[in-house]
Amino acid sequence: MVRYDQLVRIIFSVVADPTLKDRQGPDEGTQYRAALVPLSEEQRLVASAYLAQMKASGVWKKPVITPIEGYKKFYPAEGYHQDFMAKNRKHPYILAWDVAKVAALKKRFPGFYKPDFTRG
């Protein structure tokens, strides 16, 4: 099991750039924004503290702009997006953008990396 604080750290270490608005990698639009969506007051406090630490760290050259948003509704991705990497390991998008993220997860967080795909 992954704790919320660990998940936030992993996301901003290997997945999302907290300085980008409505963009991640080559994808643009509000659906590609990085946002923290805590589901409890404890998670909201963790999210606030983590963003404050990131802003104060001086690691990023641009301002950290990731917002904290309230939970509204979860929308599953379209069927063709489900398990996309597992089904399309040689797809150009996967090779260009995601292979490096998986390698970074394996290197930086080996305790959370699993070589075999496990459905949620």
Tens digit of pLDDT for each residue in 47-92?
999 999 999 999 999 999 999 999 999 989 899 988 899 899 999 9
Average pLDDT, the chain: 93
Band of residue 119 on the pLDDT scale cut at 50, 70, 90: low
Q: How many CB atoms lie within 10 A of CB 32?
A: 15
Q: What is the pLDDT of residue 63?
A: 96
Least confident of 23-32, 50-59, 110-119: 110-119
Q: What is the mean pLDDT of residues 4-12?
A: 96
Residue 24: pLDDT over 70: yes
Q: Does the structure show a pLDDT above 80 at 1?
A: yes
Domain extents for the chain? Answer: 1-71, 76-120
CATH of domain 1-71: 3.30.1060.10
- Tell me the two tokens of residue 102: 């998986």
**How crowded is residue 4: how many other Cβ atoms within 10 Å of its Cβ?**
17
Query: Is residue 37 scored above 80 in pLDDT?
Result: yes
The residue type found at 76 is P
